[in-house]
Amino acid sequence: DGGITQSPKYLFRKEGQNVTLSCEQNLNHDAMYWYRQDPGQGLRLIYYSQIVNDFQKGDIAEGYSVSREKKESFPLTVTSAQKNPTAFYLCASSMPNYGYTFGSGTRLTVV
């Protein structure tokens, strides 16, 4: 079955450490996205990519980095510059006019 796979489901980061969240899709979608969700809040756009080898900053890109070397993959790195990274991270992909398909998310906690 086609879908989006995010891993790991839970991730713990020490202060000052970089961590990478994985997102893989086999839906053949061109566009992929990363969102952050804090408790009781909506989704905020971190980065998006509409085509391989190209990506754009969203509304809260500071402290994050991404790459899009393959159509299927859009990993997100949370760098030490992100001072408050504890959140629920959601990856999504889309085709025009068909809405967004989400992975099951990664819960990141700073310890």
Q: What does the binding site for other proteins look like in residue numbers (CB under 8 A)? A: 33, 35, 41-43, 45, 48, 58-59, 88, 90, 96-97, 99-105
Nearer Cβ to other proteins, position 16 or 96? 96
**Placement of tokens 């190209």 in the chain:** 54
For the bound state, the minimum distance from the C-beta of residue 54 to other proteins, rounded and expressed in Å, comes to 15
Are 76 and 29 spatial neighbours (Cβ–Cβ below 8 Å)? no
- Which residue lies nearer to other proteins by CB, 75 or 105? 105
Nearer to other proteins among residue 78 and residue 91 (C-beta):
91
* Exposure class string for 71-97: b at 16+ Cβ within 10 A, else e: bbebbbebeeebeebebebbbbbbeee
